[in-house]
Chains A and B, each alone.
Chain A
């Protein structure tokens, strides 16, 4: 009887997996950290881990397509003389001209307007195309103050003071030189072709007491007409929400770590901040504790993809959501039609995230005139409007099934969780139980 040694297959380390090894080699070869666009790519507890319960004997549903399910939302009703009313609670998040092409910004404005919602400027100021094609435009007030001027402040429909974003809470930004065209450079008062750093905190205030004074100044400059939003990254949602309310915000925008950025270090995107799902309940709790839920509106962003995500965010207590990455996909980002060109860039459709390099085959995250011309803003705007309408219909479908005649009537009680993590974060019961981690009695 002979013995042989059966071969064991090669075993790779779970800690040092292929991605990790490749990153070590890349860092060693280049001497620079990896910069990319987008939000976290790691799997985190998300809206997929929640389910709606639907109607049953104790709750009756509303008839689809017949019985009304309202989707309107009013933002800025706390102090602003001119709050804005949206037909759908899905808004377009702030993305800059500079990071995006002029055509892409125009498409976002057109799509949002067709769908009856707002779009938002970004770091770099307001362009005429964007203002002209956006019925409701939110003007971001950022630490860099690139492109900031009082005329644009006055022609905005709302002002969003950006303190942080989900992809990089506590971080600034960097628009690399290759995307700094003459126009972008001129709008930002900087020489063409140099890296443009965006500061991580505002130049003329620090802390919540200063923020209150800053908000008062902006209100005085705009004669108390504009709703003032305060945007924070998902880090300490309870306290950030409470402090924003105390400082006088009309609207709090809370962005989880799935929310995208134009360009930041990968290590930052993947290791700082909290998942969107974990941010909502603490923020809602802060509003409720202050007696301000529904008086100060809460906009949630970061990984919103479908009407189901919208409905779940609203059921957890948000007033509206914002989409960024999904809106870019709707207008053509990462589309397989450009696969051949993605391959030449060393990537593939669906994975392209070197937005900072300005070589986007889809003509969206670029300032190259030839690439930018590939995006027809009219067609792309129509696609975005279609997508927004589909999401709204989807959310209505779910709300009706839960017996709600307004999306805002959805509530945590309509939900259950598939995982312990999601149950804990969303504070809704694990499916089939009446319990979630952290709930009293255990």
Chain B
């Protein structure tokens, strides 16, 4: 298994090795030690590799991941798994702002808390947060699922499009055009699937409330000006 010690090896070497993997390569599991808060660790993965990062990372870890399975055994800085296409990213600790921003696919699991704007502008990604999330999360979320086992901060789902939000704890406030909606059987089924994928077995889907778009701001109407 290739091991990259970022205290002695340039980041470029790691990312270039991840990008240059030939089809059918044997060594598809990488270990990264001493990440020491480096930014852009394991970004642009476009093959089904596994990356185990032993420590905390800075901005944009696993950014634009497309097919890789990345685990951060520590916490992650802003923009972890931003614009993820497919694959999975697991953060054993906490995640800073913009976790999963604009993600289009794949699964992001945050075992601690996520800061503000978690899932901002999400476009198909599934995000499961074991703890709480900060304000303005899922702002302009277009599609995908955000599952929060703890509480959500202010203005959840502001200007939401079609992303589906599930929160088990309290919601400090809902953003413009975001409302609570009925939790139907298909949502329970999806929640069960996501909880299982995230390795959560002691929580029932029925404990969550669902939030989604009221769709009142989809086409401009001057009578809704107060919402802008």
A201-221 CB contact bits vs B (8 Å, 1 = yes)? 001110000100110110011
Pick from B39, B82, B123: contact of A204, CB below 8 A: B82
Q: Judge whether B121 and A199 touch: CB under 8 Å.
A: yes
Assess whether B222 is interfacial by the CB under 8 Å rule. Answer: yes
Assess whether A329 is interfacial by the CB under 8 Å rule. Answer: no
A149 CA / B86 CA spacing, docked (Å): 11
- Residue of A at shortest CB range from B100? A204
Q: Judge whether B102 and A203 touch: CB under 8 Å.
A: yes
Assess whether A350 is interfacial by the CB under 8 Å rule. Answer: no
Given contacts A150-B66, A213-B40, A221-B44, contact A145 B219 (CB under 8 A): no
Residues of B58-75 whose CB lies within 8 A of A:
58-60, 63-64, 66
Pick from B16, B60, B83: contact of A149, CB below 8 A: B83
A311 CA / B19 CA spacing, docked (Å): 43
B23-52 CB contact bits vs A (8 Å, 1 = yes)? 000000000000000011001101000000
A175-202 CB contact bits vs B (8 Å, 1 = yes)? 0110000000000111101110101000
Q: Judge whether A205 and B79 touch: CB under 8 Å.
A: yes
Assess whether A441 is interfacial by the CB under 8 Å rule. Answer: no
Contacts of A217 in B (CB 8 A): 39-40, 43, 59-60, 63
A176 CA / B124 CA spacing, docked (Å): 22
Given contacts A144-B121, A221-B43, contact A189 B79 (CB under 8 A): no
A2 CA / B70 CA spacing, docked (Å): 100
A203 CA / B118 CA spacing, docked (Å): 10
Q: Judge whether B143 and A203 touch: CB under 8 Å.
A: no
A223 CA / B140 CA spacing, docked (Å): 31
Assess whether A346 is interfacial by the CB under 8 Å rule. Answer: no
Contacts of A189 in B (CB 8 A): 104, 123-124, 142-143
Q: Judge whether A214 and B16 touch: CB under 8 Å.
A: no
Pick from B12, B44, B120, B161: contact of A203, CB below 8 A: B120
Main secondary structure of the interface of B (DSSP, over half): loop
How far does the Cβ of B86 sit from chain A's closest Cβ, in whole Å? 11
A129 CA / B190 CA spacing, docked (Å): 37
Q: Judge whether A204 and B120 touch: CB under 8 Å.
A: yes
A177 CA / B161 CA spacing, docked (Å): 14
Q: Judge whether B219 and A177 touch: CB under 8 Å.
A: yes
Report the interface size for chain A: residues with CB under 8 A from the other chain.
35
Contact count band on B: 35 or more
Assess whether B85 is interfacial by the CB under 8 Å rule. Answer: yes
Assess whether B78 is interfacial by the CB under 8 Å rule. Answer: yes
How far does the Cβ of B172 sit from chain A's closest Cβ, in whole Å? 21
How far does the Cβ of A161 sit from chain B's closest Cβ, in whole Å? 14
Assess whether A127 is interfacial by the CB under 8 Å rule. Answer: no
A383 CA / B101 CA spacing, docked (Å): 41
How far does the Cβ of B77 sit from chain A's closest Cβ, in whole Å? 9
Q: Judge whether B59 and A213 touch: CB under 8 Å.
A: yes
How far does the Cβ of B202 sit from chain A's closest Cβ, in whole Å? 32
A210 CA / B123 CA spacing, docked (Å): 22
Assess whether A148 is interfacial by the CB under 8 Å rule. Answer: yes
Pick from B39, B104, B123: contact of A213, CB below 8 A: B39
A-B contact pairs, 24 of them (CB 8 A): A30-B222, A145-B123, A149-B85, A150-B44, A151-B46, A153-B64, A174-B220, A189-B104, A191-B218, A193-B219, A203-B121, A204-B98, A210-B78, A213-B60, A214-B60, A216-B39, A216-B40, A217-B39, A217-B40, A217-B63, A220-B40, A220-B44, A221-B40, A223-B16
